[in-house]
């Protein structure tokens, strides 16, 4: 589902970015990259706090490396 408020916010942000000088645009880009990394780090930390997540994740990686995978098309169900 598309969030209309998000679309408006993205448009408003783009308009502001287009009005910035190159130097200020670089600063804004660096700050956005920082926020993006921060959000990613927080999501990773949240996953790592889940009991048993690391063990299950390692097992999944091992299975994938060993070719023990099933194609999505083979298990997909039309619902």
What confidence score (pLDDT) does residue 2 get?
Answer: 66
Q: How far apart are the first and last CA of the chain?
A: 18
What confidence score (pLDDT) does residue 72 get?
Answer: 82
Structure tokens at 15: 């308009």
Residue range 28-45, pLDDT digits in tens:
999 999 999 999 999 999
Residue range 60-76, pLDDT digits in tens:
999 988 988 888 888 87
Residue range 2-12, pLDDT digits in tens:
688 899 999 99
Q: How far apart are CA 42 and CA 40, in angstroms?
A: 5
- Give me the residue label for tokens 């299975």: 63
pLDDT averaged over every residue in the chain: 90
What confidence score (pLDDT) does residue 79 get?
Answer: 55
């Amino acid at each position: 589902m598309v969030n209309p408020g998000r679309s408006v916010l993205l448009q408003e942000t783009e308009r502001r970015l287009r009005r910035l000088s190159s130097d200020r645009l670089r600063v804004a880009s660096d700050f956005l990259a920082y926020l993006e990394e921060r959000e990613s780090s927080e999501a990773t930390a949240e996953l790592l706090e889940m009991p048993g997540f690391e063990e299950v994740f390692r097992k999944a990686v091992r299975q994938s490396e060993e070719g023990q995978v099933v194609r999505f098309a083979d298990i997909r169900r039309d619902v």
